[in-house]
Chains A and B, each alone.
Chain A
Amino acid sequence: NAGVTQTPKFRVLKTGQSMTLLCAQDMNHEYMYWYRQDPGMGLRLIHYSVGEGTTAKGEVPDGYNVSRLKKQNFLLGLESAAPSQTSVYFCASSYGGESTDTQYFGPGTRLTVL
């Protein structure tokens, strides 16, 4: 099992460019999440999904869109990148929606917006 994988690992964008981050999990988990991590801020939830075809907003959703067309994949899109979106992005998945379900994290994508 690869667990949770993320592509790409690094990316540099210019302001206004668009890109899509891909998250894939092979654990047959229903729930998937996108977080961003900024220095001194911990991780903050951007969007999440409770199953294939569903998405919902988290704490900091502005400027991002997501899609969950297949159960194993969760895509995070930036339509018009801004320097404030420079961050490390982590995807996570969990088996179910109970508060005690462990979240498994990918290795992260480091994004720089110039």
Chain B
Amino acid sequence: GENVEQHPSTLSVQEGDSAVIKCTYSDSASNYFPWYKQELGKGPQLIIDIRSNVGEKKDQRIAVTLNKTAKHFSLHITETQPEDSAVYFCAPPNGNQAGTALIFGKGTTLSVSS
């Protein structure tokens, strides 16, 4: 099955700085790469995703880039704000399982200080 690794596990930045989180995966057949944000006391929520036929996707201050050759994709947050503080998970689907079961990375705790 899919093996997912996420780095770093914690990330502290000053407000206005950029943050980058990287996710590596093992299944070369993977074709969909989502990022989820989990705020304290809440469930994860999809914030951005990318499909394998695209190298980069942007949505305001967040972007995701994909390198299929190296089997990794990254979340980029620019002009960070205190409300960006949360745990971020990459969660590519498990291609070996029926349905769309997600394989979550272990998460990155982002702290943005003002």
Binding site for B on A (CB under 8 A): 4, 31, 33, 35, 40-45, 48, 50, 56, 58-59, 90, 92, 94, 96-103, 105-108
Contact = CB atoms under 8 A, between A and B. Distances in A.
Interface in B72-98: 89, 91, 93, 95, 97-98
A90 B99 contact: no
Contacts of A98: 100
4 A-B pairs closest in CB distance: A105-B43, A42-B104, A99-B93, A43-B104
Given A40-B106, A43-B44, A107-B43, A33 B89 contact: no
Contacts of A92: 43
Contacts of B49: 100, 102
B107 A56 contact: no
B54 interface: no
Given A42-B105, A42-B106, A99-B32, A94 B100 contact: yes
B101 A33 contact: yes
A59 B102 CA distance: 11
Nearest to B1: A59
Given A42-B105, A42-B106, A99-B93, A107 B42 contact: yes
B41 A102 contact: no
A33 B100 CA distance: 10
B100 A106 contact: no
22 contacts: A31-B99, A40-B106, A41-B106, A42-B89, A43-B102, A43-B104, A59-B101, A92-B43, A97-B98, A97-B99, A99-B31, A99-B93, A100-B32, A100-B49, A101-B100, A105-B43, A105-B44, A105-B45, A106-B43, A107-B41, A107-B42, A107-B43
